[in-house]
Chains A and B, each alone.
Chain A
């Protein structure tokens, strides 16, 4: 009897160990609202949304809201976010790719942390900065749900771009400006050519039609005088290091 009880306890423990991570993955991984700033419905909706995005891209997208980040570890809000990510072994795949947004309501501090080569490819420093501009205006108005939704949908957009080989990079805005500028320059050239066709009255500058003896070249000299030399240091492109950074992860922090 005692032996049967021992087997039962061991089986129960084993079952508990098997079930707990599954619960953790479904209940804790994507939305952790310790500060209780979301309604249950909002919590559920965001959980479903983030789970869908994470599974689609195989990169975990997480958000955590706490009352006071100092309750969860020592150091800055960024360091605590970094600690939580590793403490709960978050991320997807062997490289544990993921991005985490943490809000600390007491200090109104936030931090983002990105980990894993694929995640870091999608979320460069510049991309994180652009991401902040999407959700911070909502947090400034205490509109937590819409802020989180903006975070989720923007993460989805950036991950899609990264998968297409076009991650959000610093030059993007400039490229768009160049494309628009070049388009209007071509438009100007086209209308200028068409407009030039409206005028065909010009003063004569030459008299080629009336040449009776072609050019008789009497002197032809090409005298070399000197050589000038200029050197220009080849700048390394910044985008190389951003696109291939990885290992320890990176992130940003600030106030909302």
Chain B
């Protein structure tokens, strides 16, 4: 029986293969051999097809043995889970139904679930990882380093609990926004006449219409990924978008989408409208005050692309609270909220306040 998943094993020594962000090739952990992606893709294409078929058969109840007495209903707890057999050690893997690439917890071999990316689910693009785990650890240290209010105990006693390189599914939206924004604007002048100060204010109704086009606005399509973290690690450099291949996945986790195009489009629409509003507002100049009164925007939705983008996720725990950091696996941009040392915060506040008060009072006294 064919396995439902594929292990990328070294053709020379059968050791596990991983995608190497530095060289852009697939390399063996054990013997150090490295291979071009095209070679590995060609080598593993028949295995992946077999895995897809096996997965489909499993979904249809298998063949041969009568397994009707065994219930596949695991109840609510395992809803959304799927089981696979590791081709390397034959261990039974149970993982999230959206997982597309992972590693076997028993033998450590990287495992790709090709069926997850078949047919309509296949991503068009992938941006390969450019940065390694060590880069993510160094970036996190740098992220800590500059923060004045970071508690010392967080910095010193903090241990990274988990680091994962994840190919996160994203919808990339093309589209246009057009519309009209109306503003109330004023221009004032003040002058003195006798004992009176007179202010004259001219009022205007300012109207601006225009259109603007976008390409590949990214919106993460995984419910497991926090949206704000994914927005914050942008932008990605699309010049490095590559046609999708599972050969980029070994060594990393990968998810398939579980948030649909329709469910995500509101986020893309909001950003298109926000950008059009901001660009129109920039053209309203020469006034002392400008207040938005009304706007009427339309979104002309274009093509949607499906891509896997590289993200390093780092989890830490401090005083019982979880802290999640995300790094753009292509550009190295690190994001994540840090705790504030309250004692240091208030000490600094009073120290600055008192010092400035003393200086100020000495000047006016």
Which residues in A have some Cβ–Cβ distance to B below 8 Å? 166, 175-176, 179-180, 182-184, 186-188, 190-191, 194-195, 197-234
Contact = CB atoms under 8 A, between A and B. Distances in A.
Interface stretch (B51-59, B75-83, B335-343): B335-343
A224 B234 CA distance: 42
B283 interface: yes
A218 B211 contact: yes
B203 A191 contact: no
Given A186-B356, A199-B337, A225 B270 contact: no
B208 A217 contact: yes
B197 A232 contact: yes
Contacts of B351: 187
A50 B35 CA distance: 100
B149 A179 contact: no
Contact of B231 (A203, A210, A221, A233): A203
Contact of B228 (A203, A233, A234): A203
Interface stretch (B11-19, B114-122, B133-141, B214-222): B214-222
Contact of A216 (B211, B231, B353, B365): B211
B30 interface: no
B349 A191 contact: yes
B225 interface: no
Contacts of A226: 202-203
A117 to B, nearest CB: 24
B180 interface: yes
Contacts of A195: 149, 340, 345
Contacts of B39: none
A195 B349 CA distance: 11
Nearest to A199: B337
A190 B352 contact: yes
In order of increasing CB-CB distance, the 8 nearest A-B pairs are A183-B356, A204-B231, A219-B209, A187-B352, A213-B213, A187-B353, A179-B360, A209-B235
A224 B149 contact: no
Interface string B140-166: 000000111110000000000000000
B227 A215 contact: no
B229 interface: yes
B339 A225 contact: no
B205 interface: yes
A231 B196 contact: yes
B149 A194 contact: yes
Contacts of A184: 349, 353, 356-357
Contact of A229 (B199, B215, B268, B352): B199
B47 interface: no
A191 B235 contact: no
Contacts of B176: 213
B275 interface: yes
Contact of A198 (B211, B231, B338, B349): B338
Given A198-B337, A206-B271, A218 B357 contact: no
Contacts of B195: 233-234
A203 B356 contact: no
B192 interface: yes
A222 B356 CA distance: 46
B351 to A, nearest CB: 8
B292 interface: no
B43 interface: no
B161 to A, nearest CB: 19
Nearest to B202: A227
B315 interface: no
A213 B212 contact: yes
